[in-house]
Structure 1
Amino acid sequence: MISDLIKLILERRIASLMFYLGVCLFGLIALKDIPLSLLPNIEFPQLTIITSFPNASAEEIESIITKPISQIVGTIQGVEKVESNSKEGNSFVYLRFKNGTDMGYAILEIREKLDLIRDVLPYEASKPLVSKFDPTKKAFLEIVFNSEALGDEKNLRGFINEQIKLYFERIDGIALVEIRGGHEKEIFVEIDPKRLRAYKIQANELPQLISSNNKNFPAGHLPFGNKDLPVRLLGEFKTKNHLENLIIQSQETSYTKLGDISKITETYKTRSGFAKYNGKEAVILSLYREPGKNTVKIAEEVGLVVNQINRTYSKEIKGVISYDESIFIKESLNGLYLNLVIGAILAYFALLIILKNFESPSILLFTIPVTLLPSFLVFRSLGIGFNMMSLGGLALGIGMLFDSSNVVLSGIERNLKTKSKLNDSILAGTMEVLPSVFSATTTTIIVFLPIGFIKSTLGIIFREMALSIIITLTFSLMTAILFIPLLASYLYKYRKTVTSNIFIFKIYQEEKIIKIFHRFLSSLIKAKTLFLSTLLLLFFLSLMLIPWLTKEYMPSIDTGVISIQIELPPGSDLDSLSQFVAYLETSLLQDRSIESILTTLGGSEENLRLNPTAVAESNEAEMILQLRESRNETTKEVVERFRNRLSKFEGVKVIFEARENVLGELLSEKKSILVFDIISDELAELAETGALLKDKLLTLSGVFWVTLGSETKASEYQINYDQSKMARFGISNSQVSTFVKLSLKGLHASDLQVNGTSIAIRLGIQKGSSDSIEKIQNLQFVAPNGESVYLGQFINISKRAVDTNIFRIANQRVNHVRIGFDEEVDQLKKEIQTLINRYAEKSEIKIRSGDENEKLGDSFREVLLSFLLALFLIFMLLSGQFESYLTSFVMLATIPLIFIGTIPALLISGKSLNISSFMGFILLLGVVVDNATLYFEYFHLFLKESTDPEKALLKATSTVLKPILMNNSTTILGMLPILFSISKGSEFQAPLGIVVVFGLLTSVILSLFVIPILFLIIEKRKSSSFVP
């Protein structure tokens, strides 16, 4: 069937060429529609349930919110783990589901379960928000705005919200524009307590009064001619004057106005957090893209809009793009193009040297577009975009694009010497190598199939990389079998005899090399026992080097970004935090290695809604330092310098970390951090054990910092009611609670809509009337009977230390111990583990390894399982193809040879055993058996012509030497750009490049001798034993 198709292609060359051009043209069209993004669209099996209950303590939150929610959602099918964090005012319940769970259905089921307990939760608590963990939906671009020209920095946020935000919302592909930082306007209704008493108005009734009156109500329809027109009752406030004129029922007079008992002003909210850029207050716009949209295209349009805004509003504001995800994507794409060009040029010169003509290498260069463009067509059909993983797969596939075509071209070249007709030579050469080409490509493809069975996040992420390799190699096989014959029929007509005066054609002297090779092979055949024993020894020696290799989840990548986590003692206000941050910023901005500093202080409910892991407390801040490209130090060295100079402050935690690359953050892996969980039901015991363990850990050399989930207690005032006294006046707990809230923080009653902008209406008792315990006790409360009573008559106020965070895993309370250490200090990890184990035994407290530590081991086990499964699949394929178990085992004998080269190469280069290098090993499984397959085909072909196995073997080696050198040289040279990480974005693949390049070098050199010797041994023993 294949031969008939090749004959048809050779007979209808113009039609065939037009067909390929048509496919490539459609591939070019599809290329324009392939979305560009940082990561593939992935559904992660994790959810977070966020519930707010303002001012409630951590213990209250745990008891009345976190526990009921955790218990009800823990019964949902597919839930693998339930964790929670209860802190003042907020409950976080983290759910992890089994991989493969339908998250859409899971969210619906969770909401149904939460509806069942809504009446159990406090009335004042917010409705539980189910937040889907999706790191691919983070803001892809952030713009920082600051101004010194608006007169008052407080106007900046309002100006951006009213004038600037709309520019970005109009851009096609922008799903959401979030504003952070700055000051938000509000209408503050400042109630005069004296007038409340004079008019005998109960303050706790005012929030409901404002809320119920600030509404429009539909009332029905009225006939008008032949139509029914809707009737609406308009009550919504249009201006501040409407609010001032709101009528309030009074016990003293028939009515009074809200403006008579309060002062209503347009002011700014008390901030719970804000943002700074390079030491100055700023407003940040975070842009979120729609799924499937082209990140690079949107980012380019955003850049144009920012420039337009800077020109139009040059006197008012200035916008700077502080983070742009598209830069990494463009660098990765440019890196791919660079790798492609350099790899193709190197491979072209290698083919010129070996083939000694210009036509054959030129034919092979055409395989790149003819393979890649149809691949893009499939990418578009399957919904695969260009992202970090698919581009990584293409970069790997490029190194192997020539392999199948090399073998086909070698077969054609060999037949050209024996056949007079060009088309006969092309057909015979292609069909001669078809089984080995099909087998070689199939073995490379099937090694990536087990990745589909990895159920962890790792498998989900790498699935797109595996798919891109499979698609590319499939088309490279089709190109080799169907397109190379067509192109050869055109170009070989003009082929000329090469003269020997061209230098590049003198390098590879095939006859001399074959003679030397035969001589050396014959010597090894005579000393085969010694040779094979030496290889076996080298193999075991290489395995002994594995313990010396660093093992990590992801390869180390210098991102040039530093994260600083700052935490002041619990209860510290935003002003104190701001002063400390300003001191740090002043010191850091003087450092020449820093380009910019983006600081987030405190937090807000808006931030938590979009990012449940965001900074949320008034005593916490995060600084993101972007380092200059031109610096002389690595990011790690800069971190070390800052850590030594700026991390030791009395009572303040300052943690410096080199920020992980995007993929490392996604997989939640930080190789320089260990996590352990202390388990106990007693909060005091958790805190005490954690503090003692922290002190012991900090004595170890190389431990930078230790943080505890439950470490310090915060002080709070607690108000107790005297129910009997309250009953005399007919006062309820809720009435007192509302009055105290109004006196301290105020209450959000409603919103005023002005020009499409919503401004909050906040009620509060007159400032200065409740800023001390004594003043609160002396506040006069209007009872339902109109009598004024002092709060101090029926409340008691006491001060108490309370826990700020309570963590739970399932039904157990835990204290998370996070340890930051120097991963380069030998044996430090073991020392930490030993210290913790000894302490646990001594104190009889249960301490277990944290989830993050277990994840590393689980992932390595899954990858190892994939490696073994791929090995078995190759064995099955080879056994089925050659109908021999023993032949398959012999072909797999080349696989251990890769460790002889790869393990020492990783050790010498300082690279680690990680996901990238493991992918290299998996890739090698499919590549290294190609040589053995080719050997087997020609050995058995020539064995039919000769009765002497050794002569048939030497003839086979002469035939396969050229295609083996061509195949492996183009693959190795194609991988060199990845090996040396010459382009940005290729650092992740550097360990993979080392494994593939040195694995192939070792495999080629040794398998050229090992495989022939093993085939010869088998052939000589066939007469004495039955081999199925």
Structure 2
Amino acid sequence: MNVESYVHSLFKHKRLYWVVFICFFLAAFFRIPELEIWLLPRLTPIRYYIVTEFPNHSAEETDLSVSVPISEMVSSVKSVKRIRTISEHGKSVVQIDLQFGASVSEFKDQLYQTILEMNDKLPLGVGAPRLLQGEAKERPFMEILIPKGIGNDVTSFDFRFQQLVFQLERISGVTEVRVVGKPKHSAFISIKTNVLDLFPISIRDLESQIQAAMRGGSLGKIEGYTKDTELKFSAEIQSYEDLSQFPIHLGNGNSVSLGRLTTIFKSEFPAEKLTRMDGKNAIYIAVFTDSSANPLRVSSEVQKKFQTLDSNLSPKIFYDASNELHDQIHQFGINLIWSLTFAFVFSYFLYRSWVPALILLVSVLFSLVLFFHLVLLFSISINILSLGGISVGIGMLFDASNLIVFSIRKKLEKMAFASESVTKGIQSVFISLFSSSLTTIVVFIPLLVFPMEWKNFFFDSGVCIALLVFCSLVSSLWIVPLLSISLMESLKKTAMNTDREKLLVSMYERTYNAWNTIGKKNAAVILCCLLLFSFFVFEFKWHIFPKQPAIGFRMQMSPKSNLSLEEELGVVYELQSKMQKIDPKLSTLVFPLDPLDTKRQHPQKSIPIQWKLLGIEKSKELETLFVELLPPSKWDWKLEPIESQVSITLPFIPNDSLVFLHESFDALLNFSREFRKNISKRELNGNFDFLPNRITLEEWSRNQIPIPEFIPDEEDLKHRILYQQIPKYLGPIGDVTKTDLYLGMDSFGLDLGNRIDPKRISFKTKTNEATFIGTLFTSQKQESYDQYHRESGLFYTEWMGEVLEFDSSLFAMKNGLSVIQFSAKKEIRKFFLFLFVLLLLSFVFIYLALVGIYESFRIPIFYLGLSLLYLSVTVSFVFVLFREFHLGHYIGLVVLLGLSIDSISLFGERWVEIREDTVSSKQRESIFRWLVWPILLNSGTTLMGVFPVIAFGTSGSEFSKAIALTMFVGIPVSVFFVFYVYPNLFLKFLVKIQ
């Protein structure tokens, strides 16, 4: 169907087309639930972690018994690029990096099969291995705090709280709800070691008798005993009050009350006392979700539960991962309203009529509706990154429609028939319109199709921009003619303001003559000199992706010595008070470092905790405070940023690093210390990723004992040592109010400041006689470390920071030392070289598309040469203005490449229409009069469309902001090229190639 037939169809079946138009709008409302909303694009995971617990074993034992065997088994799995192990006390972490392009499904199948086979090859006591993706630590989707001490009815509070947790677990998409710090009724039985030694009973027997007394039982209905009667035996210990009088049988017919052997008391666990928010005790709830769940819906459902269940709990959301997506949606709404409003007002002032402005507005709205349908058709998700692409693409929606509106109005001034005006108006700009849209879409093909690690990361953004351009083209060729036909009478009455046009022409002639007076060569020389000066004087940085700001900070505190819980609480209170004075707007959360294992805590000993700090404005002052209140002799602490969701999912960002490997861990650490000293002398920044703390391993060996009465009861010895550190959970007691019961050793009134001589630890022999460990065991001490790292079977440590040059003299005398260097500069150079090749491929695609459009091999070469010149100048301005260049600027240049073809094609069409042998000022004026209004409107709407992204960008929008900034620089340069550069270049070269 040609243009004439198409326009005739619009005139003849106008009502039918309006019905289709309305159906598109109505269908969008019904399809909204089908929209896929994710927090981030579904990227192929390329890093996995196998986390395995090995309780009560040293880091050295964990390394040899768990980490090394697991890494050897995993090494047989296909597509594995690197295996690293981290071994610490009671825990093994195996990091697995995949090769790029590996089959994830095949890798997972083999990995799961390997994990199933691990249990048979690992020692007893090893926990089930857990597989994590992306991070070694799980991050909750939401963190909720409920203040303690609300109301006096504890039973009612517990019921309401349990109902809240129950309702949260039932929300679709929620996988787990963890609670820390909830007040519990806990009772502790503290065995008095010096008293127990006087009686012939072991800890194991004592524990068994208590557990047996806590259990009752039923024999069911006994036939012939009593009709319809069930025989039940009650527990001997039914409540906390029964504990003190419970008799402990000594085995010789005698008994002693439990109260004589032990101290019985009630207390809270450290997790309950140390879970605090903004200086107040609170209950911490962590909500974990499935990655495929709609974050906005889950967040909304959680907040609805707060409103419908019970407001007396006063829950407060400390962290919500969907806030980043909420911010981006809010930003998108601002961009949309700003763009539509500005374009409508701007078009009105240019056309001096509401009719063209209304046509543009309706056309753009239809483009958005069509885009919505295409997003559903191609299963594109709405996420943080795709919203950035949509926000940038909104400003480009007016270009095609504005060009058609202007062209139709131009033809209406000269032609009497409406159908002919619409037909000629479309035909006069069809080639430039089609070529610009096609090239903008085609330019993204290499980026979206060619396999590379970053493809999936910006795939949604690139596809969204391409689809928006396509929707704009469809709307300009359908909705604009349809509206023009429907509003033809009103459109005819509008006329351009000739006074303004004359003023613009006059200004253009003066500036054009001034430009010619300066001389192109002189301007080019001046520009090159300025660029060279800027490159040599100012520092310029290349990045792959813009640095994402942290959303807060996390501080981990671990006590070094046997600090009491009271001392730790005092430090926490003081820290909280002083932090609030330094930074009143700071929001703080304190809770245990390992919230999964809060029951394995001593009621009076300090525990490792972590702080989460949001809204920090004075980070340096806070860090100074931590140095002052947390001396290295008592605390190990580490302050690290809490990364945003975008940072977590970024493909691996290259960093300058040196990996040192050695078969001897001691030799590796000695070299690391020497290397750090040498680096510090050169005043280079950086540090090692880890330097472990030195600890002592003491191994006890049993002496040969010929007398059976003195054979040690090793179980009693182990219980005395372990129960003194961590009380053992025995079970609940009580009928109505349940109390958790724990058994420990000397936990009440223990002097944590004094260290016990291991040789003076008493325990029982097989005959229940008390003795000391020094009489039956000999000990050997050896030095060890609290953490071990391996790669490829060798111990490793990694220097993260500046390394100017690889100085081989630093490693020449280190026998057995292997060094692997990673240069961020080389990786970044390789990345941009790869992008440059893709850009050349984009030029090839554009050339082929233009050859098909213009049926010529030379004209596309000329057009692409102009586009290359324009991009070179734009890149120079980007370098000078921003002093950095990364993927966001590159995507912006790719968009500008497509837009430059639009302006070149449009100028070329006007040039062919009026060109004679020489271009006079009147002919140049004629081109200017035709182009000035569409160019101004397109440039203005596009600039103002990306302006909110620049001015009101939120955290996490740095990528889309860089695209917008590049377009904000490139569009004025494009306008300058159209009116000041292209006339001379077309005159000089186009005639020769035609």
Q: TM-score if structure 2 supplies the norm length?
A: 0.82
Residue in structure 2 matched with residue 611 of structure 1 by the alignment: none
Aligned with residue 334 of structure 2, among 328, 333, 338: 338
CA distance in 1, matches of 2:50, 2:905: 55
Query: How many angstroms apart in 2 are the aligned matches of 1:169 and 1:645?
Result: 39
Superposed CA deviations along residues 605-645 of structure 1, whole A, max 9, x for unmatched, are: 4699xxxxxxxx987554333338xxxxxx4xx22444456
Alpha-carbon distance in 1 for matches of 2:927, 2:848: 25
Equivalences for 1:427-438 in 2 at 5 Å? 427-438=423-434
- Note if contact 1:601-1:618 (Cα within 8 Å) is conserved in structure 2: no
Query: How has the CA–CA distance of structure 1 residues 974 and 838 changed in structure 2, closer, same or farther, with 3 Å as cutoff?
Result: farther
Mind listing any 5+ residue stretches in structure 1 that lack a counterpart?
A: 220-232, 609-616, 629-634, 820-828, 1024-1028
Q: Give the match for residue 589 of structure 2.
A: 598
- 1:682-738 alpha-carbon deviations (Å, 9 max, x no partner): 2222322333344455567695x845512431345x232226449968979985775
Return the offset for 1:580. 4.1
**Counterpart for residue 383 of structure 2:** 387
- Counterpart position of 2:695: 714
**Secondary structure at the counterpart of residue 127 of structure 1:** coil
Q: SS where residue 816 of structure 1 aligns?
A: strand
User: CA shift at 1:16, angstroms?
Assistant: 0.7
Could you tell me which residue of structure 2 aligns to residue 162 of structure 1?
Answer: 162
Q: Distance in 2 between matches of 1:655 and 1:157?
A: 36
Alpha-carbon distance in 1 for matches of 2:242, 2:852: 84
Residue in structure 2 matched with residue 512 of structure 1 by the alignment: 505
Q: Which residue is equivalent to 1:663? A: 646
Equivalent pair of 1:403/1:967 in contact (CA under 8 Å): yes
**C-alpha displacement of 1:983:** 6.7
- The answer to whether the Cα contact below 8 Å between 1:577 and 1:620 also exists between their aligned partners in 2 is no
Which of 393, 396, 408 aligns to 1:412? It is: 408
Q: 1:937 to 1:473 in 2, by over 3 A?
A: same
Aligned partners of 2:7 and 2:419 also within 8 Å: no
Match of 1:779 among 745, 750, 762: 762
Aligned to 1:892: 864
Aligned to 1:228: none
- Counterpart for residue 288 of structure 2: 288
Between the aligned partners of 1:23 and 1:781, the Cα distance in structure 2 is: 85
CA shift digits 1:177-203 (9 cap, x unpaired) = 222345666676666879998997775
* 8 Å Cα contact 1:664-1:670 kept in structure 2: no
Q: Does 1:925 align with 2:894?
A: no
> Any residues of structure 2 matched to 1:77-116 within 5 Å, and which?
77-101=78-102, 103=104, 105-116=106-117
1:681 is matched with: 663
CA distance in 1, matches of 2:704, 2:137: 57
* 1:52 maps onto 2:34 in alignment: no
Match of 2:227 in 1: none
| Distance in structure 2 (CA, Å) of the matches to 1:99 and 1:117 | 26
The answer to whether the 8 Å contact 1:332/1:391 transfers is yes
Q: Deviations over 1:951-972 (max 9, x none)?
A: 9988666644543343333222
Cα gap change, 1:483 to 1:264, in 2 (>3 Å)? same
Residue 225 (structure 1) aligns with: none
Structure 2 contact 411–424 (Cα < 8 Å) conserved: yes
- What do the CA deviations read for 1:142-180 (whole angstroms, capped 9, x no partner)? 22223245789x999977863542343354554432223
Structure 1 residues 301-312: aligned runs within 5 Å: 301-306=301-306, 311-312=311-312
Paired with 1:55 and 1:127, the residues of 2 have a C-alpha distance of: 15
Partner of 1:30: 31
Contact 2:276 2:591 in 1 (8 A): yes
Inter-partner Cα distance in structure 1 for 2:97 and 2:707: 48
**Counterparts of 1:242 and 1:72, CA distance in 2:** 54
1:962-996: CA deviations, max 9, x gaps?
A: 43343333222222222333677655533322211
For residues 539 and 647 of structure 1, the distance between their equivalents in structure 2, rounded to whole angstroms, comes to 47
Cα distance in 2 between the residues matched to 1:360 and 1:411: 12
The DSSP-based 3-state class of the residue aligned with 1:412 is helix
Find the partner of 2:457 among 450, 456, 461.
Answer: 461
Deviates more, 1:930-939 or 1:366-375: 930-939
Residues in 1 aligned to 2:900 and 2:677: alpha-carbon distance in whole angstroms:
53
**Match for residue 438 of structure 2 among 442, 446, 453:** 442
Residue in structure 1 matched with residue 75 of structure 2 by the alignment: 74
Gap change, CA 1:511 and 1:147, over 3 Å in 2: closer
Alpha-carbon spacing, 1:852–1:797, altered in 2? closer, same or farther (3 Å): farther
CA 1:110–1:594 in structure 2 vs 1: closer, same or farther (change >3 Å)? same
SS of equivalent residue, structure 1 residue 81: strand
CA distance in 2, matches of 1:747, 1:477: 72
Whether the 8 Å contact between 2:709 and 2:765 is mirrored in structure 1 is no
Q: Distance in 1 between matches of 2:211 and 2:25?
A: 64
| 290 and 834 in structure 1: CA distance in 2 versus 1, 3 angstrom threshold | closer
Q: Aligned AA for 1:345?
A: T
What residue is the counterpart of 1:994 in the other structure?
A: 965
Change (3 A) 1:340 1:411: same
Distance 1:620 1:853 in 2: 39
Give the aligned partner of residue 784 of structure 2: 802
Deviations 1:515-543 (A, max 9, x none): 7299759969x977x47965994797499
1:627 alignment counterpart: 615
Measured in 2, the distance between the counterparts of 1:754 and 1:438 equals: 80
Is this contact kept in 2: 1:272–1:604, CA < 8 A?
Answer: no
Could you give the per-residue CA deviations for residues 477-516 of structure 1, whole angstroms, max 9, x where no partner exists?
Answer: 111111111111112321254578x8xx854438826972
Q: Note the alpha carbon deviations across 1:86-135, whole angstroms, 9 max, x for none.
A: 11111111112234545455344223213323233221121111123379
**Aligned equivalents of 2:827 and 2:211: distance in 1?**
50
Deviations 1:861-891 (A, max 9, x none): 5555544443443233334433544433322
Matched, 1:377 2:359: no
**Structure 1 residue 462: Cα displacement:** 1.8
Change in 2 beyond 3 A, CA 1:515/1:242: closer
2:344 pairs with one of 348, 351, 354: 348
Corresponding position of 1:61:
62
* Residue correspondences, number: 973
Preserved contact between residue 441 and residue 474 of structure 1 (Cα < 8 Å): yes
Q: Distance between the aligned counterparts of 1:521 and 1:478, measured in 2?
A: 41
The correspondence of residues 212-361 of structure 1 with structure 2, limited to 5 A, is: 269=269, 274-306=274-306, 311-313=311-313, 318-361=314-357
Paired residue secondary structure (1:82) = strand
Q: Structure 1-normalised TM-score?
A: 0.80
- 1:368 to partner: Cα distance: 2.2
Pick aligned residue for 1:548 from 539, 554, 558: 539
Larger deviation: 919-928 or 1014-1023? 1014-1023
Q: State how far apart, in whole Å, the 1-side matches of 2:984 and 2:821 are.
A: 50
Alpha-carbon distance in 1 for matches of 2:684, 2:765: 63
- d(CA) in 2 for partners of 1:618, 1:818: 32
Q: Deviations over 1:246-278 (max 9, x none)?
A: 999997679999999989987655659943322
- CA distance in 1: counterparts of 2:796 and 2:414, whole angstroms: 78
User: What secondary structure sits across from 2:31 in the alignment?
Assistant: helix
Identical residues among aligned pairs (%): 18
8 Å contact kept, 1:676–1:850: yes
Alignment correspondent of 1:833: 804
Amino acid at match of 1:997: F
Q: Distance in 2 between matches of 1:947 and 1:753?
A: 104
